[in-house]
Amino acid sequence: MLALRIIVGLGLAYTLLMLLAWLFQDRLAFPAPRASLPDPKRVGVENGEKVELVSGDGTKLVGWYLAPNTLEVQPPPTSPTSPGLLWFYGNGETVAAIWPIVREFQPPGTAVLVLDYPGYGGSGGRATEGSLYAAADAAYAALATRPGVDPQRIYVYGRSLGSAVATHTAARRPVAGLIVESPFTNAAAMAKHHYRLLPTFLLRLSLDNLANVRRVRCPILLFHGDVDRLVPTAMGMAVAAAAAGPVEVVLIHGSGHNDTYDIGGRAYRDKMWEFVGRTAGLSDRPTVRP
């Protein structure tokens, strides 16, 4: 009888665990930290301005637009319009947390738009996979129609969770180039990696980078830390291998998941700048840089 009670108790506990996983998986995937959106001018970003957009489902979104900021060492622009870069951050970030990185990494002569996801930072709504994609659609439309931005030269950047938002955008919109950092393959593989005891049929999320990159024809630049434990480097390599277009892979040696900017440093930034400024195509197979 004692053994039977133990088995029944374990079964009930496991059933409860599955129920909680079903109910709260959005909360796990999208922790949605809140933070007030800073005023760019007040924090010394003179080329920045606050922006407000409305997503397709009516959600109010807030973020920053950074006008092109050409460095003195760069030649004067030859085109009346500039490239644009959409920035999609990781699942625990906000514009308030990452604006110094966005400012530091802004490619010369390129406009940047970064928004807080629904439920994140200062944006309204609730974070779900669908609401993130709707926000990305609104962001793309806003940047592509922005005066002075060339809609034929829109680049998309996504880190970690943002990689799924970025590949979703690149698979469905005309983009000149896609940059992803620490991309996972899909939500099912991440769930299996981190929650082995839970059956995958509970998963409602897709977040499918593999399926998306198979539809992306533009050049792709992929960064990944080579000691990433949260999103294994092998997942990034699988994303690169699945891409339909040309891919360049840059491994950041000694970097885990959350220190890529610090360890990658100027080399990371310069590679990103080079990619955005490049006009020639890449080779048609992934290459790995030391």
The arrangement of strands across the sheet holding 82-88 comes to 48-54, 60-66, 111-115, 82-88, 149-159, 177-181, 220-225, 247-252, 287-289
DSSP three-state, residue 239: helix
The residues, ordered by sequence, that sit 6+ positions from 159 with a Cβ below 8 Å of its Cβ are 88, 89, 90, 93, 180, 181, 182, 260
Do strands 149-159 and 177-181 pair parallel, antiparallel, or not at all (unpaired)? parallel
36 is catalytic: no
Residue 255 known to be catalytic:
no
**Catalytic site residue from 55, 160, 163, 255:** 160
* Given the residues 82, 168, 182, 228, the one annotated as active site: 228
A 10 A CB-CB count for 161 gives 27
Which runs of consecutive H residues, i.e. helices, occur in the chain?
2-29, 95-105, 129-144, 161-172, 187-194, 209-213, 233-242, 260-277
Question: Is 257 tagged catalytic?
Answer: yes
Question: Which residues are catalytically annotated?
Answer: 160, 228, 257
